[in-house]
Structure 1
Amino acid sequence: MTNATSLRRRTLSALAATMLLAGGLLLGQTATAPTAQAAGKTVTCNVREMHKQSTDLRAKAAKLQRLGATAEARKARAQADALDRQAQACIDADNTAPKPFPN
C-alpha cells in the first residue's frame, strides 16, 4: 500500500511540476513577444493592391469551380479571404493608430 501511495505522489508531483514549467514558458513567451510597433518596425500595406489580388483570386476561384476543380477553388477563395482580412486589419490599424501632434 505504501509503495503505491508513494508512486502516486511522485507521479502527481512530476505532473504538477511539468504543468507549472509549461505554463511558465507559455506566459513568458507571450509577455516578451514584441509587436511590430514596439520593435520599431514600420509595416506598410497597399490596400488597393490587396483588394485587386483578392478580386483576381476570386475570379480564378469562380473559373476553377466552373471547371470542376472544387478543392483548388476553395483554396483560392481562402487566400482571397485572407487577403481581405489582412487589408481590413491594415485599415483598422490606420484608424486606431495614435495621431502625431500637429507641427
Structure 2
Amino acid sequence: MTNATPLRRTLTALAATMLLAGGLLLGQTATAPTAQAAVCKPAELRQDAAELRAKAGKLDRLGEKAAARKARDQAAALERKAKACEDADDHATKPFPG
C-alpha cells in the first residue's frame, strides 16, 4: 500500500467537505419556507387586536389573569405593527421621484 501524497489527501478532504456543505445547503433549501411578499394590512391587524382584547376580557371574567395579560400584550403588539405599517405606507420613498 502506498502512502497518499499530501496534495492528494488535501484534495480528498476538500472534496468531501464540499459535498457535505452542498448537501447541507440543499437540505436547507428544500425545507425552507417559501418567501412571501410582506403585505401590510392594518385593518386586519386591528381586527385581530380587537378580537384578542375581547378574548382578554372574557379571560378576566373567568379569573385567568395571566392569560388575559398575555392576550392584551399580543393585541398591543398587533396595534404597534398596524401603526408601523401605516407609517411605512405614509413615508414610503418612491424609487423614481418625479
| Fold conserved between structures, TM > 0.5 | yes
Query: Which letter maps to 1:55?
Result: A
Alignment partner of 1:48 is 2:32: no
Q: Secondary structure at the match of 2:94?
A: coil
2:80 corresponds to 1:82:
no
Distance 1:84 1:44 in 2: 16
- Whose radius of gyration is greater, 1 or 2? 2
Q: Which amino acid aligns with 2:75?
A: A
Change (3 A) 1:77 1:87: same
Give the distance between the partners of 2:86 and 2:67, measured in 1 at CA.
Answer: 29
Unaligned runs of 5+ in 1: 1-40
Structure 1 segment 1-103 matched on structure 2, within 5 A: 42-99=37-94
CA-atom RMSD, angstroms? 2.0
Alpha-carbon distance between aligned partners in 2 of 1:51 and 1:62, rounded to the nearest angstrom? 17
Q: TM-score, normalised by structure 2?
A: 0.58
Deviations 1:9-60 (A, max 9, x none): xxxxxxxxxxxxxxxxxxxxxxxxxxxxxxxx85211111111100000000
Report the Cα offset of residue 98 of structure 1: 1.4
Q: Which runs of 4+ in 1 moved over 4 A?
A: 100-103
Taking only the aligned residue pairs, the percentage that are identical comes to 54
CA distance in structure 2 between the partners assigned to 1:89 and 1:43 by the alignment? 13
How many pairs were matched up?
63
